[in-house]
Amino acid sequence: MRSIRNLNIYTIVENMVGGKGWGSWGLSFFLEIEDANGDNKNVLFDAGGNKEVFMHNAKAFEIDLSNIDAIFLSHGHWDHSSAILEVVKASGGVKLFTHPDAFCSRFHITNDGRKRELGIQKEITISQIENLGAEIILNSKPVEIVPGLWTTGEVERISDFETAFSLDEDESVVKIVDGKKIDDNIIDDQSLWTEVEGVGPIILTGCAHAGLINIIQKIKKISNFEKFYGLLGGTHLVGRSDDYIKKTIQGIKSHEFKLLSPCHCTGFKASCYIYGSFQKEFHLNYCGRKFEIGNLNLEEQVF
């Protein structure tokens, strides 16, 4: 597995806001990568939950959407996909990497029959994306998006406590596959990982529906890493029990992270727990935040 020389991570969309951006429920990162050969690549990680917010922030933060080399969609939920068509159009057509199940219809259903759509916006279809010039790469196995930057592929659920959702007994989450309604365990949830020279391995998560510990174990399995430098992104710890959060923190501790920036679906309670356990390593994330991996000062960097 080849490493990369440098990595800058810009938070375009996040629930919280700093500076001149707009906050919105959802997530989107813009990655600037210098690969091992010195070539520069730009990757969009997810596209937020509101396309107007995404486009406003991209402009405000001077993100050049025409200079994107690849798009990664972490999973098929509306709060990560809103501006895909706009980005594909602006880029002139790029490769979009995601799981085969990402475009399934999916719903949250209560026992009284109320139904809420969770999937990608109806107007964002595979044919629409392809008509704008993009090539969609559907894969459940690890894929190298650009030199040195990999997807996890489908993440095996091996921990004894991690679940895709925190649900009450009278709730369910389902998806439609081949016309059949089945329970949705969000097997399409994938993350990105890379190794930055002289720094160490970095993990980027969308919502971590597969479970943070499962994700870490999957990356260890396919990379042989034992320790990690950074973990940034959604953790889906919102609404979890204290015991669940503490087990997650315990699992993180053994890997000696130097940078932890949980955001989006982490929730206030879990963020406080994580900060309490990793005060030196914890860095608050919000739209407008910039992370220069390997050159992270204690002062927050805003772009």
**Per CATH, domain 4-292 is 3.60.15.10:** yes
Residue 298: what pLDDT? 41
- pLDDT at position 301 is 65
Can you tell me the distance from the alpha carbon of 10 to that of 13, in angstroms, rounded to the nearest whole number?
Answer: 9
Q: Are strands 40-45 and 135-138 parallel, antiparallel or unpaired?
A: unpaired
- Beta-strand runs (E) in the chain: 4-13, 28-35, 40-45, 70-72, 95-98, 105-110, 115-117, 135-138, 144-146, 149-151, 171-177, 180-183, 192-196, 200-205, 230-234, 259-263, 290-292
Whole-angstrom distance, CA of residue 303 vs CA of residue 291:
10
**Cβ-contact 93, 77 below 8 angstroms:** no
According to the model, what pLDDT value does residue 135 have?
97
How many helices (H) does the chain have, and how many strands (E)? 6, 17
Give the list of residues 6+ apart from residue 73 with CB closer than 8 angstroms, or none. Answer: 46, 47, 80, 81, 84, 96, 97, 98, 102
pTM above 0.85, yes or no: yes
Q: What is the full per-residue pLDDT of the chain (303 aa) written as tens digits?
A: 789 999 999 999 999 998 789 999 999 999 999 999 999 999 999 999 999 999 999 999 999 999 999 999 999 999 999 999 999 999 999 999 999 999 999 998 887 778 889 999 999 999 999 999 999 999 999 999 999 999 999 999 999 999 887 766 668 888 888 888 888 899 999 999 999 999 999 999 999 999 999 999 999 999 989 999 999 999 999 999 999 999 999 999 999 999 999 999 999 999 999 999 999 999 999 999 999 997 655 456 666
Name the CA dihedral angle for 232, 71, 125, 74, rounded to a multiple of 10 degrees. Answer: -20
Residue 115 backbone phi and psi in degrees, to 5:
-125, 135
**Quick one: residue 300, left, alpha or beta (phi over 0 = left, psi -120 to 50 = alpha)?**
beta
9/153 Cα distance (integer angstroms): 21
Q: For the CA atoms of 209, 165, 239, 256, what is the dihedral angle to 10 degrees?
A: -30
Q: Is 293 helix (H, G, I), strand (E, B) or coil?
A: coil
Query: Which residue, among 242, 221, 299, 235, has the nearest Cα to 264 in the 3D structure?
Result: 235
**How many C-beta atoms lie closer than 10 Å to residue 118's C-beta?**
20
**CB within 8 A of 62, min separation 6: which ones?**
303
Per-residue confidence (pLDDT) for residue 178, from 0 to 100: 84
pLDDT of residue 181: 87
Say what the pLDDT of residue 210 is.
97
**Rounded-to-integer distance, Cα 275 and Cα 271, Å:** 6
